[in-house]
Amino acid sequence: MKSPAPLSLSRLAGAGMGVMATIVVGLLLGLLAARYLHWQWAVPFGIVLGFIAGLLSLFRQLKAQM
């Protein structure tokens, strides 16, 4: 049985940049929520949600390529 081809470095880098992008989007949304809703926990909450969304996206991309 033939082993699957390894993932290229560019695909892995793209998936990693996607995680970073979702964290930044979560940060920006958290900052907006903190400013307009006056909720001090909005920034850490947005960062954590961005990180979780990024990891889900990462696993989904890697699973589709394997």
Q: Per-residue confidence of the chain (66 residues) as pLDDT tens digits?
A: 666 667 788 888 888 899 999 999 999 999 999 999 998 899 999 999 999 999 999 899 888 877
Distance CA 16, CA 18 (A): 5
Amino acid at 63: K
Q: Residue 32 falls within a domain, yes or no?
A: yes
Q: Residue 38 falls within a domain, yes or no?
A: yes
Q: Residue 35 falls within a domain, yes or no?
A: yes
Domain that holds residue 42: 11-65
Q: Residue 55 falls within a domain, yes or no?
A: yes
Q: Residue 57 falls within a domain, yes or no?
A: yes
Q: Residue 16 falls within a domain, yes or no?
A: yes
- Per the structure, the count of domains in the chain is 1
Cβ-based neighbour number of residue 19 at 10 Å: 18
Contacts of the segment 33-42: beta carbons below 8 A, 24+ positions apart: none
Q: State the pTM of this model.
A: 0.80
Alpha carbon distance, N-terminus to C-terminus of the chain: 15
Distance CA 49, CA 27 (A): 9
Q: Residue 6 falls within a domain, yes or no?
A: no
Q: Residue 3 falls within a domain, yes or no?
A: no
